[in-house]
C-alpha cells in the first residue's frame, strides 16, 4: 500500500537510525504518496538533507515488553525471600509427586508403635523375609506407622486437595466477580449479596455444613466444601478489578468496534486482572491446606485411613503428652509449607506491585 | 546592566538507568535578570523540567548534577548544603508545578498551607517553642496570626474571591484554576526573587489560562519577582515572556527576546516547532510537522542533537558541536566575533562548552546553536 | 480538514431538514427526475444526526441519597441538535466539563442517551444494544484522547488491529487479516515490523497512529475523534493532524473532532459547534466562526487563546467566575451568569459595562459568595470599625467590580441596600433586593437557535425578537 517513494523528509536509512522513541519515522503525510497529491514542493535551502552518517547510526532500542512470566522470573531473582518460598513450595510438590520413591517406607507398613524420633526398629521392609534394622527419623505413631513416610504421603493428598480447592474457588469466584463487576445493576446486586452472605460465615463452619449436605467425607466433597467456602475471596477481588478495568479506555474502544461482552470480558478485561488473581491464589493455597487440616482434625476429612496432614495431626492429639512428635511433626510440615506459600505470595504481590487492599489477606 | 539574578552555566544533570546514562540536561547555560519573565520552551523529553528541578535542587534520585554551576545573585547553589537549599526554596526560590492537586496537601486547609510556608520561611510572629508547635499541629495556624493574615492577603492578590472564607477550604473544594492560583499565592507568599513555573496553565482551560497568565504578569510587578516560565506552548511564551530559551534534547538551541524569536526564528528546530504549531490567527497556515520525535537522551552520538530530524542537516552537523552565534538582526550590533577556534573543524570537542563568553550571552542578543546560522555559517 | 467551504450551509432548524428529506424521498417514487433529486439531497443529508439528545448522569446511589443528598442529575449533554455530513469535519469545541466528550460517546451509542434520538443515514440507532448496534459499528468509529490508555497493554499491535475484523467476520483466515493489518500499518505510517510490538513499546505519536489504524480497520464512514492530539507534543500533534487530513481526503471520511483547542479547530474543521454547559450555543462554518463569532461566549473563548503573532492579539474578554455546576445550570441562557454582554432591563439608565458590574455583584450575592463574618474578622484584624455599616461599605468596595464606574443612582442604592442586609445577616432579603433591582431577560428565557450565516446561535442578543443590540461586544 505504502511504497514509501523517496521523499525529502523520509527515507528508510534516516528512519532506521532513530531509536525507540521515533515516531516510526514517519512520513508525516502518508496520503501524499497517492498520485492525486503532489509531493511537497519545499526544498531545504541547503540542498537535500544528509542521511545520518553510518558511524552515528544507533541500534533501534525498544523498551522491553515484560510478559507476566518474565516479570515473575525477574522478580524472584531479585527477591531472595520469595525465591526461597518458591523453592520450598516446589520442593514439597516434588516430594508429594514422587512420594513412593522419596518416602522411606510404605505409609501402611507398621513398626513398633510410638517410637521416638531418631529411633530404630526391626522389621521386614522389603518383604524378603529377613528382618532389617530400620530407622525412624521422625519416630512412629500410635499404630506403628512411620511418621516421615506418613507425612510425605500426606503431602500428596493435602497439596492436591488444596490446589484443587483453590482451582474450584478461582474458577467460580472469577466467573461471579467478572459478571458482577462487568454487568453491574441487578446482576451485581444478586451475585454480591450472595457473596456477602457467604462472607459472613466462617469458612470452616460453611465447609462442615456443605460436607454434611453433600453426604459425608470424601476427596470431592472436601474439595467442593472448601472451594465453595473461598469463592467470595476471589469474587470480591475480581469484581473490584473489573470495576476499574471496565472504565479503561481500551474497553470503551473494544465496545466501539462492536466486540461482544463475552469477548470483552475474556480478552480485554481478564488478562489484565490476572496478576492480582495469581497473588490471591498463592495466598489462598496455605489457607486451603489449613482448612483441609481443620476438617480432617474434626473428622470430616478425606477419609479416616488416607493420610493427610490434618488427619495425622488429629490422630496424634490424644498422645500429645506421651508422644508429642506424632502431632508436632505434621504440624511443622504444615507450618513450613504455609510459610513458604505466604512468602512466595507476598513476593509476587511486590513483583506485580499489587496493593494490599486489592488482595485481601486474612 | 545589573548583575543577573540567576546564572546557570554549562549545567549537566544525568540519570543513570539500566539502559545507560540519561543526559537530561546536557550543558545548559542561561541567565535571568531581575524583573524578567524568561521562557523555557521545549517538547516533552527536552529536559526542561529537569533543568528547573536542578535549579531549585530537587532532582529526583538517582539523578544528579554532574557539572556546571548555578548562581543566584552570584552565589553558587551547588556549594550549598541541603539545609541551606531547603531554606532557599520557598524563600528566595519558589516553584509552581503543572498539577496543583499533587502539590497541595489534601488534608489541610489551603490558607493553612500558605500560612505554614510563610511561617517556615519568615518565622513571622509565631513562637517556635514546642508547646506552640504542638498546639499549632492540633489546632492549625491561629486565625489571628500574622502568617494567617499574610495567607489571606496572598489569596486576595491572586484574585481568589472571598479569601477569608476560601482560606479555610480544602484543596478539593477549589476548582482547577483556583488551585493553581493558590499554588501561585503560596509560591509568592515569601516574596521570592525567582519564581519557576513548570507548565502552570497546561492543565487549565483557555479562559482560565488567560486569567492566570495575566495575573502572573501583574504579580511579577507587584512582588518584584523574576519568573522562569517552562512550557511547551509557544503562544503562551509569546504572550508572557520577555526572553525565550528554546530547549531541545537536553540542550538550549536558541535564545532571543520573545519578539525577535517569533519574528525571526533562526534555529531549524525553532522554525520547525513554529511551523507545526497551529495558529488561531492564520487561517491559511500550512501545518508542517517535524518528522520523528525527540530522541532518548542516552548516549546521543551526534554533535547537534537535532541533526537526524533536521531538514537541513549535513555531514558537519553530526561531527561538530554547534555553538551559540549571534544571528538575526543582532548580528550587526555584535562586535565581538564568535570564537571560531573552538569550532573544532577537526571534529573534536564535540562536548565543547556552549556557553561561550558572557559578553556574547547578553539578553538583548539573538543567538542560535546551529552550524548553518550566523556569520560563520557560510564557511561550511 | 479539507475545507469544503462550498458545502451547502447548514439548515438552520433540524425540523426543516427532516422535512426536506421526507419531501425528496416522496419525490423518488413519483417523478422521473427523482433519482437525481435524491442524489442531490443525499449529499446534503446528514450522515449522523443528533436530535435533541440529552445525557444525564444520576448522582444518587440509592433511595437514601434521593432522600437526603444532592441527587440532582448532572446534565452533561442537554438538548443537543447536531449533524455530521459526509466527508466533512465537524469540530465540537468547549472547555473541560462542557459535555463535549460525553456528546462524542453518546453519538456512537457508547453511552445511552437520556432523551432524544440519534440517526445514522436516517435510521434511528438510539439505544441499540450490542448486537443490534453491531452493523453500525463498522461505519462509526472512534479515536481516543489518550492513545496508550486506549490500547490493551497485554495485546500486540497485530492482535489489537485484527480484533475488529474478527468481531465483524472480515477476512477468511488469520493470514488474510494479518495482510490487511500490514496494509493499515503502512497507511498510518507505521512499519510491518511493528506488528508484534506492545503498545508501551511505541512513542505517543506512534500509539495514536495505532489508534487511528484501529478505527480504520472497518473502513468507517465517520470517526469521532475525542481530543486525538491533546496528549501529544506539538510536532507530533502536527503529524497526526496531517495524517488525519490525508486519510480523510483519501477515504472520504467524516470526522467529528472533539477538542478544546481552538487553534487546532481552525486548521481541521469545516464546521464548528461550540458547547457550553451541555448545550451547543453556536454553530458556524469555520471561517465564519473565527471571522465573525456571534455568541459572547465564543467571542470570549476566542479572545482568550494566546497568539504568537503580537499583531493578532486582541483585547481579552475575561470571563468572571467559574463554570456553574452542570447539575444545577443557571436558568434561561446558561451563560448569563458570566456573560459580558448580559442584556440590561429596558429601564436601565447606565451603560452595558455598568450593568455587567452590578450584575456581577448580584450573582455574587445569589451564589452566597460573600461572607460578612469573614469581612468583619478582617476588619477587626485591621483594627477598623466592625459595625454593620463598615461591613456593608467593605462589601460594596470589594464585590462590585469597577467601583469607579458611576452606576445609576437607583442601582447604587440597591447595591448599598443589599450590602447592608448582608451585613445584617439577612441573606435572603439581600438576594431578593438584587434580583429585583437587576433583572435580565437572559435569565428568564432560554435563547432560541437563531439562524445565522451557515449555522445558528443561541443568544438573545442575536435573536431579532429579543431586546439587546447584537454588536455590543
Cβ–Cβ < 8 Å for B278, B265:
no
**Residue at which a domain ends, from A25, A48, A63:** A63
Output the pLDDT for position B143: 65
Q: For residues A81 and A210, state if they share a domain.
A: yes
Q: What is the per-residue pLDDT for A108?
A: 77
A15 with A151, same domain: the answer is no
Nearest residue to B38 via CA among B70, B6, B75: B6
> Inter-chain contact A24–C209, Cβ cutoff 8 Å?
yes
Condensed to tens digits (0 to 9), the pLDDT of residues C185-196 reads 999 989 888 899
Q: Which residues of A touch B301 (CB under 8 A)?
A: 55-56, 58
Assess whether A234 and A219 both reside in one domain. Answer: yes
pLDDT for the residue A61: 66
Check pLDDT > 80 for residue B213: yes
**Residues A26, C189 contacting (CB under 8 angstroms):** yes
Which positions of chain A have pLDDT values less than 50? 1-49, 355-362
* pLDDT given at position B314: 84
Mean pLDDT of C63-88: 80
Q: Give the residue carrying C-alpha cell 508547635.
A: B133
Quick one: cell of B227?
519568573
Q: Give the Å distances, CA to CA, from C360 to B210, B292, C356, C408, C432.
A: 19, 50, 6, 15, 15
- A249 to chain C: closest CA residue: C150
* 3-class DSSP assignment, residue A359: coil
Judgement on whether residues A25 and A103 belong to the same structural domain of the protein:
no
Mean pLDDT within C12-28: 40
| Section C274-290 average pLDDT | 94
Can you point out the beta strands (E) in C74-166?
74-85, 89-93, 115-120, 123-124, 140-143
Higher-pLDDT residue of A79 and C15 is A79
Question: In this complex, do C189 and A27 lie within 8 Å of one another by their Cβ atoms?
Answer: yes
The per-residue pLDDT for B140 is 64
Q: B98-191: what CATH class?
A: alpha beta
Q: Indicate whether A19 and A106 sit together in one domain.
A: no
The residue ranking higher by pLDDT, B342 or A271, is: A271
CATH code assigned at A285: 1.10.3720.10
Residue A114 lies in a domain: yes
pLDDT for residue C352 is more than 90: no
Which three three-digit cell numbers place residue B295? 530522541
| Lowest-confidence pick of B97-101, C159-163, C222-226 | B97-101
pLDDT at A217: 73
* A36-45, B321-330, C200-209: range with lowest mean pLDDT: A36-45
Which residues in chain C touch residue A250, judged by CB atoms under 8 angstroms apart?
149-153
Mean pLDDT of the region C369-394: 82
Contacts of A27 in chain B (CB under 8 A): 291
Query: In this predicted structure, what is the pLDDT of residue C404?
Result: 59
Per-residue pLDDT at C176 = 93
pLDDT score for B150 = 87
Confidence tier at C65 by pLDDT (50, 70, 90): low
Please tell me the predicted confidence (pLDDT) of residue A253.
Answer: 93
Report the distance separating Cα C84 and Cα B72, nearest Å. 57
Cross-chain residue pair B291–A26, CB shorter than 8 Å: yes
User: How many whole angstroms separate alpha carbon A276 and alpha carbon A349?
Assistant: 7
Domains of chain C: 1-139+218-335+450-463 (3.40.50.300), 157-216 (no CATH), 352-439 (no CATH)
Same domain, A52 and A131: no
What CATH number does domain B1-35+42-79+242-300+309-335+344-365 carry, 3.40.50.1100, 3.30.70.270, 3.40.50.300, 3.40.50.2000? 3.40.50.300
Residues A57 and A140 in one domain: no
Tell me the three cell numbers of residue C258.
Answer: 472533539
Give the global pTM: 0.81
CB contact under 8 A, B178 and C322: yes
Assess whether A185 and A58 both reside in one domain.
no
What DSSP line would sit under C374-399, residue for residue?
HHHHHHHHTT---SHHHHHHHHHHHH
Q: How far is B159 from chain A (nearest CA, A)?
A: 37
E-only strand ranges, chain A = 119-123, 132-136
Query: What percentage of residues in chain B have a pLDDT greater than 70?
Result: 82
The pLDDT confidence band at residue B376, using thresholds 50, 70 and 90, is: low
What span, in angstroms and rounded, lies between the C-alpha atoms of A263 and C212? 22
C164–chain A Cβ distance below 8 A for any pair:
yes
Domain ranges of chain B: 1-35+42-79+242-300+309-335+344-365, 98-191
Could you read off the pLDDT of B228-237 as tens digits, one per residue? 999 999 999 9
Domain count, chain A: 2
Q: What does the pLDDT average to over B347-352?
A: 40
Domain span including residue A51: 1-63
In the prediction, which pLDDT does C62 show? 58
Q: What is the mean pLDDT of residues C24-48?
A: 50
Distance from the B237 Cα atom to the nearest Cα atom in chain C, whole angstroms: 8
Q: Are residues A194 and A219 in the same domain?
A: yes
Note whether A90 and A28 are same-domain residues.
no
A258 and A126 inside one domain: yes
- Residue B293 has its nearest CB partner, among C203, C310, C371, at C203
Last residue of a domain, one of A63, A80, A104: A63
Q: ipTM above 0.85?
A: no
pLDDT of residue C270: 94
Give the CA angle between residues A117, A122, A124 to the nearest 5°. 120
Q: Order of strands across the sheet with C74-85?
A: C74-85, C46-57, C115-120, C123-124
In whole angstroms, what is the distance from residue A36 CA to residue A50 CA?
28
Tell which wins on pLDDT, B175 or C165: C165
Among the residue ranges A53-62, A197-206, B291-300, C327-336, the one predicted with the least confidence is A53-62
What's the pLDDT at A10?
39
Q: What is the mean pLDDT of residues C356-385?
A: 83
CB-CB neighbours of C61 under 10 Å: 10
Contact C197 A268 (CB under 8 A): no
C106 pLDDT higher than 90: yes
For an interface test with C, the pick among B151, B161, B163, B286 (most C C-beta atoms closer than 10 Å) comes out as: B161
Asked if the domains at B1-35+42-79+242-300+309-335+344-365 and B98-191 fall in one CATH topology, the answer is yes
In a domain, A361, yes or no: no
Q: What is the mean pLDDT of residues B312-321?
A: 85
Indicate yes or no: CB of A23 within 8 angstroms of CB of B19: no
Candidate from B134-138, B163-167, B238-242 with smallest mean pLDDT:
B134-138
Residues C119 and C48 sit within 8 Å (Cβ to Cβ): yes
Statement: residue C311 has pLDDT above 90? no
pLDDT for B130 beyond 70? no
> Looking at the domain assignment, is residue A36 inside a domain?
yes
What pLDDT does B41 receive? 94
**pLDDT at residue C453 tops 70:** yes
Q: Domain check: are A45 and A167 in the same one? A: no
Task: Note whether A30 contacts C247, CB cutoff 8 Å.
Answer: yes
Amino acid at each position: 500500500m505504502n511504497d514509501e517513494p523517496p521523499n525529502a523528509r523520509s527515507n528508510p536509512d534516516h528512519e532506521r537510525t532513530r531509536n525507540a522513541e521515533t515516531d516510526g519515522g514517519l512520513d508525516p503525510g502518508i496520503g501524499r504518496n497517492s498520485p492525486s497529491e503532489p509531493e511537497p514542493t519545499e526544498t531545504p535551502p541547503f540542498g537535500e538533507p544528509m542521511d545520518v552518517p553510518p558511524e552515528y547510526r544507533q541500534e533501534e532500542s525498544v523498551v522491553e515488553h515484560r510478559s507476566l512470566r518474565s516479570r515473575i522470573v525477574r522478580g524472584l531473582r531479585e527477591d531472595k525471600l520469595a525465591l526461597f518460598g518458591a523453592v520450598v513450595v516446589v520442593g514439597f510438590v516434588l516430594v508429594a509427586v514422587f512420594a513412593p520413591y522419596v518416602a522411606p517406607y510404605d505409609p501402611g507398613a507398621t513398626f513398633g508403635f510410638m517410637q521416638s524420633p531418631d529411633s530404630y526398629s526391626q522389621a521386614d521392609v522389603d518383604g524378603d523375609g529377613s528382618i532389617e534394622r530400620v530407622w525412624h527419623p521422625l519416630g512412629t505413631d500410635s499404630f506403628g506407622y512411620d511418621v516421615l513416610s506418613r507425612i510425605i504421603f500426606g503431602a500428596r493428598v493435602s497439596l492436591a486437595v488444596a490446589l484443587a480447592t483453590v482451582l474450584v474457588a478461582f474458577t467460580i469466584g472469577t466467573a461471579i466477580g467478572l459478571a458482577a463487576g462487568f454487568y453491574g445493576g441487578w446482576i451485581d446486586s444478586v451475585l454480591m449479596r450472595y457473596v456477602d452472605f457467604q462472607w459472613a460465615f466462617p469458612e470452616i463452619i460453611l465447609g462442615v455444613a456443605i460436607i454434611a449436605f453433600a453426604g459425608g467425607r470424601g476427596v470431592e466433597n472436601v474439595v467442593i466444601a472448601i472451594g465453595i467456602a473461598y469463592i467470595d475471596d476471589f469474587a470480591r477481588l475480581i469484581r473490584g478489578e473489573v470495576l476499574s478495568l471496565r472504565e479503561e479506555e481500551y474497553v470503551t474502544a473494544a465496545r466501539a468496534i462492536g466486540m461482544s461482552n463475552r469477548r470483552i470480558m475474556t480478552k480485554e478485561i481478564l488478562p489484565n486482572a490476572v496478576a492480582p488473581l495469581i497473588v490471591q491464589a498463592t495466598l489462598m493455597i496455605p489457607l486451603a491446606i489449613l482448612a483441609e487440616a481443620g476438617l480432617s482434625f474434626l473428622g470430616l476429612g478425606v477419609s479416616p485411613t488416607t493420610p493427610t496432614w490434618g488427619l495425622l495431626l488429629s490422630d496424634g492429639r490424644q498422645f500429645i503428652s506421651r508422644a508429642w512428635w506424632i502431632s508436632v511433626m505434621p504440624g511443622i510440615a504444615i507450618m513450613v509449607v504455609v510459610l513458604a506459600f505466604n512468602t512466595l505470595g507476598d513476593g509476587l504481590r511486590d513483583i506485580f506491585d499489587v496493593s494490599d487492599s486489592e488482595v485481601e489477606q486474612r | 546592566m545589573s548583575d543577573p539574578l540567576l546564572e546557570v552555566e554549562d549545567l549537566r544533570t544525568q540519570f543513570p538507568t539500566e539502559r545507560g546514562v540519561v543526559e537530561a540536561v546536557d550543558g545548559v547555560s542561561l541567565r535571568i535578570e531581575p524583573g524578567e519573565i524568561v521562557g523555557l520552551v521545549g517538547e516533552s523529553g527536552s529536559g526542561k523540567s529537569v533543568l528547573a528541578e536542578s535549579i531549585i535542587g530537587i532532582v529526583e534520585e538517582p539523578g544528579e548534577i554532574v557539572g556546571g554551576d548555578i548562581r543566584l545573585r552570584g552565589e553558587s547553589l551547588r556549594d550549598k548544603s541541603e539545609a541551606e537549599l531547603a531554606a532557599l526554596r520557598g524563600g528566595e526560590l519558589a516553584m509552581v508545578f503543572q498539577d496543583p492537586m499533587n502539590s497541595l496537601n489534601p488534608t489541610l486547609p489551603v490558607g493553612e498551607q500558605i500560612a505554614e510556608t510563610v511561617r517556615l520561611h519568615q518565622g513571622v510572629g509565631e513562637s517556635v517553642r514546642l508547646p506552640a508547635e504542638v498546639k499549632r499541629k492540633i489546632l492549625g495556624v491561629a486565625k489571628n496570626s500574622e502568617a494567617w493574615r499574610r495567607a489571606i492577603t496572598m489569596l486576595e492578590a491572586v484574585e481568589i474571591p472571598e479569601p477569608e472564607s476560601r482560606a479555610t477550604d480544602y484543596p478539593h473544594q477549589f476548582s482547577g484554576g483556583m488551585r493553581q492560583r493558590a499554588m501561585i499565592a503560596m509560591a509568592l507568599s515569601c516574596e521570592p526573587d525567582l519564581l519557576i513555573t513548570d507548565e502552570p496553565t497546561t492543565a487549565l482551560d483557555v479562559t482560565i489560562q488567560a486569567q492566570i497568565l495575566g495575573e502572573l504578569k501583574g504579580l511579577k510587578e507587584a512582588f518584584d519577582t523574576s519568573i522562569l516560565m517552562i512550557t511547551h506552548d509557544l503562544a503562551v511564551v509569546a504572550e508572557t515572556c520577555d526572553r525565550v530559551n528554546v530547549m531541545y534534547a537536553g540542550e538550549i538551541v536558541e535564545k532571543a527576546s520573545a519578539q525577535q524569536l517569533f519574528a525571526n526564528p533562526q534555529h531549524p528546530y525553532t522554525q520547525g516547532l513554529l511551523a507545526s504549531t497551529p495558529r488561531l490567527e492564520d487561517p491559511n497556515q500550512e501545518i508542517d510537522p517535524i518528522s520523528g520525535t525527540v530522541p532518548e537522551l542516552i548516549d546521543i552520538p551526534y554533535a547537534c542533537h537535532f541533526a537526524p530530524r533536521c531538514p537541513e542537516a549535513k555531514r558537519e552537523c553530526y561531527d561538530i558541536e554547534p555553538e551559540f552565534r549571534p544571528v538575526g538582526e543582532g548580528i550587526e550590533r555584535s562586535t565581538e566575533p564568535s570564537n571560531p577556534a573552538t569550532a573544532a573543524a577537526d571534529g573534536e570537542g564535540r562536548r565543547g562548552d556552549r556557553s561561550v563568553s558572557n559578553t556574547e550571552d547578553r539578553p538583548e542578543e539573538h543567538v542560535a546553536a546551529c552550524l548553518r546560522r550566523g556569520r560563520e555559517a557560510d564557511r561550511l | 480538514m479539507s475545507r469544503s467551504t462550498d458545502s451547502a450551509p447548514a439548515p438552520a432548524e433540524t425540523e426543516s431538514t427532516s422535512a426536506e428529506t421526507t419531501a425528496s424521498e416522496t419525490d423518488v417514487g413519483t417523478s422521473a427526475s427523482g433519482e437525481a433529486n435524491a442524489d442531490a439531497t443525499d449529499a446534503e443529508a446528514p450522515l449522523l444526526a443528533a436530535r435533541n439528545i440529552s445525557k444525564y448522569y444520576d448522582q444518587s446511589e440509592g433511595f437514601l441519597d434521593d432522600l437526603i443528598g444532592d441527587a440532582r442529575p448532572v446534565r452533561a449533554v442537554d438538548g443537543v441538535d447536531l449533524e455530521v455530513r459526509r466527508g466533512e469535519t465537524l469540530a465540537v469545541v468547549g472547555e473541560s466539563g462542557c459535555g463535549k466528550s460525553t456528546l462524542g460517546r453518546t453519538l456512537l451509542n457508547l453511552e445511552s442517551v437520556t432523551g432524544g434520538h440519534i440517526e445514522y443515514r436516517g435510521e434511528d440507532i438510539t439505544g441499540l444494544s450490542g448486537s443490534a448496534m453491531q452493523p453500525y459499528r463498522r461505519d462509526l468509529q472512534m479515536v481516543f484522547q489518550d492513545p496508550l490508555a486506549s490500547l490493551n497493554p497485554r495485546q500486540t499491535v497485530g492482535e489489537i488491529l485484527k480484533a475488529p475484523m474478527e468481531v465483524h467476520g472480515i477476512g477468511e483466515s488469520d493470514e488474510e487479516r494479518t495482510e490487511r493489518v500490514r496494509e493499515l500499518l503502512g497507511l498510518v505510517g507505521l512499519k510491518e515490523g511493528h506488528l508484534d510490538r506492545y503498545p508501551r513499546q511505541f512513542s505517543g505519536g506512534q500509539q495514536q497512529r495505532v489508534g487511528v489504524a484501529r478505527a480504520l480497520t472497518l473502513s468507517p464512514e465517520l470517526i469521532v475523534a475525542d481530543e486525538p492530539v491533546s496528549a501529544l507534543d506539538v510536532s507530533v500533534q502536527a503529524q497526526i493532524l496531517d495524517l488525519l487530513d490525508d486519510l480523510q481526503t483519501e477515504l472520504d471520511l467524516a470526522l467529528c473532532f472533539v477538542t478544546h483547542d481552538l487553534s487546532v479547530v481552525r486548521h481541521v474543521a469545516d464546521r464548528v459547534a461550540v458547547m457550553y454547559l451541555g448545550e451547543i450555543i453556536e454553530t458556524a462554518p469555520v471561517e465564519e466562526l473565527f471571522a465573525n463569532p456571534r455568541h459572547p461566549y465564543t467571542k470570549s473563548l476566542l479572545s482568550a487563546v494566546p497568539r504568537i503573532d503580537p499583531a493578532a492579539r486582541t483585547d481579552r474578554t475575561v470571563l468572571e467566575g467559574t463554570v456553574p455546576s452542570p447539575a444545577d445550570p443557571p436558568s434561561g441562557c446558561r451563560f448569563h451568569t458570566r456573560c459580558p454582554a448580559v442584556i440590561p432591563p429596558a429601564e436601565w439608565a447606565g451603560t452595558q459595562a455598568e450593568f455587567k458590574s452590578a450584575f456581577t455583584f448580584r450573582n455574587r450575592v445569589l451564589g452566597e459568595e460573600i461572607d460578612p463574618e469573614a469581612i468583619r474578622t478582617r476588619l477587626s484584624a485591621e483594627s477598623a470599625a466592625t459595625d454593620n455599616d463598615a461591613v456593608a461599605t467593605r462589601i460594596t468596595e470589594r464585590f462590585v467590580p469597577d467601583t469607579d464606574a458611576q452606576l445609576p443612582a437607583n442601582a447604587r442604592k440597591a447595591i448599598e441596600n443589599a450590602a447592608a442586609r448582608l451585613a445584617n445577616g439577612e441573606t435572603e432579603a439581600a438576594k431578593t433586593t438584587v434580583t429585583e433591582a437587576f433583572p435580565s431577560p437572559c435569565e428568564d428565557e432560554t435563547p432560541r437557535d437563531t439562524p445565522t450565516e451557515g449555522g445558528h446561535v443561541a443568544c438573545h442578543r442575536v435573536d431579532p425578537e429579543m431586546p439587546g443590540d447584537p454588536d455590543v461586544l
